[in-house]
Amino acid sequence: MKKILLSIFILITLFSFSGCGKKENNKEDNNKEQEIINNSNSAVIYFSATGTTKTIAERIASLSKSDLIEIVPEDAYTSKDLEYNSDCRANREQNDINARPKIKNKIDISKYDIIYLGYPIWWGTNPKIILTLLDSYDFTGKVIIPFCTSGSTGIENSVNNLRSYNSNLNIKDGKRFSSIDKDDVIIKFINDNNEVVNSMKVIINNKEYQVNLENNETVNSLIKLLPMELNMKELNGNEKYYYLDSSLPTNSYSPKRINKGDIMLYGDNCLVIFYKTFDTSYSYTKIGHIDNLDDLGNSNILVKFDK
């Protein structure tokens, strides 16, 4: 009897342990999918006449931890202004190439690198007040990620129109949202665009190298420091290093082998570019890799890091 009870106990224990492990893993995987890659300084700037775009804007701002800024028209749109089956104000503006409806509020975009720009679709494109916004502030150097709501029309035409309105601007493809879209759709939108946004190049002796960046918090924090010019010190005939003034988040591991072109963080503030391949026992947080890095010679060098 004792033996039978013991076997039952072992079976239950084994079963519950393996089941538990599996459950935990699934939970972790789900959390990973839901995890937001927190991007640089970002704002959601939106216009909404009847509240649909506003709701999506609020959710993007909350999930991406961005500031939320409404574009408030000087003359608010009444429901009569929006009766598109008549000769309403909105229709007249959309048909008038020169219409630039005034914006009531001042918007400070200076501190943002990424701007999620939201609007409803009016007659297949963005409302004219969005052009007023682009005319009012200098968006050069910023990444604009458009989003819209509509009855059914996609965002593509409006994005093409915005790009041809000001070809100096960096306007991503964007996305149309429906009010029934769940959080996972919004999170995917934020993360997909964040990957597009993080890019870095280094310039050494007038030669520009593109860096294949890792997708981690260290990179997100480093990007915020750009542009920067560092006098990097030579060490051991295989690396150039510089101690940054501020610490970055770390997730260090022992790579065992350093590859020529690796960019690593040693400790929490020592930025290192390796220009030789060798075995190592040290731990680093990986930042990225340069595919075609030249031999950097055996002296200190000036390196420019930029977006």
Ligand X SMILES: Cc1cc2nc3c(=O)[nH]c(=O)nc-3n(C[C@H](O)[C@H](O)[C@H](O)COP(=O)(O)O)c2cc1C
Contact residues toward ligand X (CB under 6 A) are 48-54, 82, 84, 90-91, 120-124, 149-153
**DSSP 8-state assignment for residue 149:** E
> Is the Cβ of residue 82 or residue 109 nearer to ligand X in the bound state?
82
Q: How far is the CB of 91 from ligand X (least distance, A)?
A: 6
> Is the Cβ of residue 157 or residue 252 nearer to ligand X in the bound state?
157
Total length of the chain: 307
Q: How far is the CB of 41 from ligand X (least distance, A)?
A: 25
What's the start-to-end Cα distance of the chain, in Å?
Answer: 72
Pick from 136, 137, 146: nearest CA to 170: 146
> Is the Cβ of residue 56 or residue 143 nearer to ligand X in the bound state?
56
C-alpha to C-alpha distance for 254 and 249, rounded to whole angstroms: 16
> Is the Cβ of residue 157 or residue 300 nearer to ligand X in the bound state?
157
CB 82 within 8 A of CB 47: no
* Main-chain phi, psi angles of 38, to 5 degrees: -70, 120
Q: How far is the CB of 156 from ligand X (least distance, A)?
A: 12
C-alpha to C-alpha distance for 206 and 304, rounded to whole angstroms: 9
Q: How far is the CB of 190 from ligand X (least distance, A)?
A: 19
One-letter identity of residue 105:
N
Q: How far is the CB of 48 from ligand X (least distance, A)?
A: 3
Q: How far is the CB of 101 from ligand X (least distance, A)?
A: 13
> Is the Cβ of residue 85 or residue 292 nearer to ligand X in the bound state?
85
Structure tokens at 247: 């610490």
> Is the Cβ of residue 90 or residue 171 nearer to ligand X in the bound state?
90
- DSSP states of 102-124 as a string? PB-S----TT-SEEEEEEE-BTT
